[in-house]
Chain A
Amino acid sequence: MMQRIWPAAAVLISFGCAAAAGPAPDDVAWDGSAVDASLTGTPGDPENGAAVMSSRADGNCVACHVVSSLSADFQGNVGPSLDGVGDRWSEAELRGIVIDAKHTFDGTVMPSFYKTGPYIRPGDAFTGKAADGPLPPLLNASQVEDVVAYLVTLKE
């Protein structure tokens, strides 16, 4: 377990600050509720995707989803288990769900991870104060691709 987390954390530190490539959130090319093209044009790193999904500071997907292959503690059940999600959805559909799940599930409680607004009373992260300016998306383009790369590996 430690083995999985630490190298992933290292990847995060080395690439975390790299300028997010890819289309701006408003320019993402949708095909229905799917997004065919990789946001970065390169394959994502599933190992980092796993770290992004587990980290409270990044995706924190495990707040709402059980993912049996992740070692994160206290996985929630507001959403369905993501086990086997790579069998149920194509890569393009998964990319669409991670970018903005409201295209797939109307009115879902799942946050939109690659979107910049508009929001109602946007805050400065978890401070409760007003945001200082336009907010960056919750995940950058390479983090989205890393998460998608991990999700496609989740086969029963």
Chain B
Amino acid sequence: MKRRMGLVAIAALLAGSAFADPVEGVDLVINGDETLVIRAPAPPAVSDIFDEVYSGWLYRDEATRAMEEDDFDNPGMVFVDQALDTWAAEDGSEGKSCASCHQGIESMAGVRAGMPKMNAAGDDLWSLENFINNCRTNRMGAEAWGWNSPEMLNMTAAISLQSRGLPVAVETDGPAHDWWEKGKEIYYTRYGQLELSCANCHEQNNGRYIRSDHLSQGQLSGFPVYRLKNAGLVSIHNRFKGCIRDTRAETYKEGSPEFRALELYVASRGAGLDVEGVGVRH
């Protein structure tokens, strides 16, 4: 009896003050004029779990949050500029650039918000990176970029920026459904010697601290993010890799079917949050 009381008292304490939730009373307003949706009613994938979903921005400290509020302070923007040069540069045997087919990069508006999605043949789920490499290899006659190469990271950042302010909205029915189910299974699998799942940290314990890290809901709306710790851009799959590695597990590879499936499922958990373009995180 004594023990039970103790646990109940502790649980109450955790639910109260010690449980540091996403910061309240702040909005993400970019350059003083564009307000992004960083809290949204829970979408169908998580409506039985959360009332609301939150951008990872809300779990970061004030200085980090401020960097994302101004494009001049956002260290990710220089990479966007580099990608704009690449966008217009011819490459490969066909003598084409991205602009040759797509004109201005504004034509990419909405693309990030719907990723990942089924390819045109309808036989594979592709991340943004796969679509980019498909253009490079099949349309430009150029070499594929590595998943973590600067060219790829920069280009995904520049394309994501075109969806800034548009809500994440991924297709989870039809041929994508099996992928979504697979991603869900991965999300709840307790990997590695520490036996921790994505859900253990980002569903059960978001808002709490694991050592110095303030756990968020693990949403994708800020990606690719500029990570201060890495002093560079980080892709979605690279983030997944780091999280699984931290459970003392063997990770999957960037671009693997497992990570593409997981990306679709995790994206669906954040449907309704605005794409941030380039988020800034620790």
Contacts and interface: CB of A to CB of B under 8 A. Distances in A.
Query: Are chains A and B native binding partners rather than an unrelated pairing?
Result: yes
Interface of A: 56, 60, 62-64, 73-78, 80-81, 84, 87-89, 109, 111-112, 119-131, 135, 138
- The 8 tightest CB contacts between A and B, nearest first, are A74-B212, A128-B245, A80-B10, A130-B250, A128-B251, A63-B211, A123-B249, A76-B209
Contact of A128 (B6, B10, B241): B241
Nearest to B19: A77
Nearest to A85: B6
A120 B189 contact: yes
A64 B189 CA distance: 20
Contacts of B209: 74, 76-78
Residue in A122, A125, A127 with the greatest tally of chain B CB atoms within 10 Å: A122
A57 to B, nearest CB: 12
Nearest to B189: A120
A88 B3 contact: yes
Given A109-B200, A128-B251, A60 B192 contact: no
A11 to B, nearest CB: 23
B229 interface: no
Nearest to B242: A128
B102 interface: no
Contact of B208 (A73, A76, A122): A76
Contacts of A126: 245-246, 248
Interface size class of B (residues with CB under 8 A): 35 or more
Nearest to A84: B6
B78 interface: no
B223 to A, nearest CB: 19
A20 B19 CA distance: 38
A147 B200 CA distance: 24
A135 B193 contact: yes
A88 B6 CA distance: 7
B7 interface: yes
A139 B215 CA distance: 26
A121 B215 CA distance: 23
Given A119-B191, A122-B249, 8 more contacts: A74-B211, A78-B205, A80-B10, A119-B192, A121-B249, A123-B245, A123-B251, A125-B248
5 contacts: A78-B209, A88-B7, A122-B248, A123-B248, A128-B250
Nearest to A74: B212
Contacts of A125: 248
Given A76-B209, A109-B200, A127-B245, A89 B193 contact: no
